[in-house]
């Protein structure tokens, strides 16, 4: 048995070393590895090439995933930085699984390492396809599609689909561009320092059978923390009444700027949840459009940020990219 394991490991790493060197946009990509579930690549699953990446690697490694549905949990551990997961540009590349009940153990995808890039991938938790009440009558539970806890992570043209806690934006600086995020309860939550630019935010609150859901649950805990969620030039759509957010921690900070909102936003806009008093919460909107952006009935403690504050938060360079880490990633 030991001999068989050694042979398997040898050939796995042999495949890893044989793949080609690459260069993209003046950023060195050391290797490109292919994944094809039908066996026409270097590996059949997404987790296999991640496991083969050496610990504490210092150069970018691209994992090119052929289109199809990969039913598996995928984790990028903390000691595996500089990984790119890239799906097919023309056909869907889906990573999905159906686990629930834990924000730590249930995510379909977890990225714990610094310096990570994902492109053209659908991350999905399928647990909530059929909603069955538990013994307390609750219809949903934690079922994250993805959990991001490393610093300097970027996502381009990706989708995150679930019902509750869809995207755990836990900690670190993150950039989401042209991504699709769907859910009903706290479906973008955590204490990340993140900009969502030109993203599609879709409410599935009609599936709850209750009055309303929540897009965000931001968890900033102290006033000196630089964290917060910024939605820049996004589009909020879907069905069922939904709040823009509720305060997960005392100094929660969320800004919607230049965003089009369809007529699904609860008139109050925001909820303090269990935070009292509300003076420490920074929930704000700036130059948003659409029928859902009517602020005439918003909660009285919504912050009216100054122009300088809005410019600081919506500017990628000042809010998340002070050390120009985005320019150092392959695009």
Report, as residue numbers or ranges, the catalytic residues.
165, 186
Closest by CA position to 247, among listed 208, 205, 277: 277
Distances (CA, A) of 23 to 34, 155, 201: 16, 20, 33
CA dist., res. 159 & res. 145, Å (int): 9
3-class secondary structure, 36: coil
Following DSSP, what letter does each residue of 245-265 receive, concatenated?
EEESSTT-EEEEES-EE-TTB
323-327 own/partner pairs: CB under 8 Å, 24+ apart = 325/115, 325/152, 325/173, 326/154, 326/175
CA dist., res. 301 & res. 284, Å (int): 10
The helix or strand, by DSSP H or E, that contains position 11, with its residue range, turns out to be helix 2-18
Close Cβ partners of 215 (under 8 Å, ≥ 6 residues apart): 183, 187, 188, 201, 203, 236, 242, 243, 244, 245
Closest by CA position to 203, among listed 146, 245, 247: 245
């Amino acid at each position: 048995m030991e001999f068989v394991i050694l042979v398997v490991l040898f050939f796995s790493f042999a495949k890893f070393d044989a793949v080609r060197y690459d260069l993209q946009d003046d950023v060195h990509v050391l290797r490109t590895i292919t994944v094809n579930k039908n066996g026409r690549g270097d590996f059949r699953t997404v987790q296999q090439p991640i496991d083969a990446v050496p610990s504490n690697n210092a150069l970018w490694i691209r994992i090119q995933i052929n289109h199809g549905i990969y039913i598996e949990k995928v984790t990028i551990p903390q000691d595996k930085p500089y990984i790119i997961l890239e799906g097919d540009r023309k056909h869907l590349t889906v990573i999905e699984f159906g686990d629930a009940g834990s924000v730590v153990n249930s995510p379909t995808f977890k990225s714990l390492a610094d310096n990570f890039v994902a492109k053209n991938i659908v991350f999905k938790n399928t647990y909530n396809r059929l909603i069955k009440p538990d013994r307390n009558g609750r219809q949903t539970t934690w079922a994250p599609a993805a959990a991001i806890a490393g610093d300097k992570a970027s996502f381009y043209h990706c989708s995150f689909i679930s019902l509750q806690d869809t995207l755990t934006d836990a900690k670190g600086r993150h950039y989401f561009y042209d991504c699709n995020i769907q859910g009903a309860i706290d479906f973008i939550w955590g204490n990340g320092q993140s900009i969502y630019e030109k993203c599609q935010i879709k409410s599935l609150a009609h599936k709850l059978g209750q009055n309303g859901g929540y897009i965000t649950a931001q968890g900033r805990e102290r006033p000196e923390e630089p964290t917060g969620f910024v939605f820049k030039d996004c589009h909020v759509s879907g069905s069922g009444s939904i709040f823009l957010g509720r305060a997960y921690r005392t100094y929660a900070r969320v800004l919607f700027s230049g965003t089009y909102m369809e007529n699904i936003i609860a008139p109050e806009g925001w909820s303090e949840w269990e935070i009292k008093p509300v003076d420490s919460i920074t929930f704000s909107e700036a130059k948003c459009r659409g029928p859902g952006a009517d602020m005439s009935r918003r909660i009285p403690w919504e912050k009216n940020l100054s122009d300088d504050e809005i410019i600081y938060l919506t500017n990628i360079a000042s809010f998340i990219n002070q050390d120009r880490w985005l320019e150092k990633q392959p695009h």
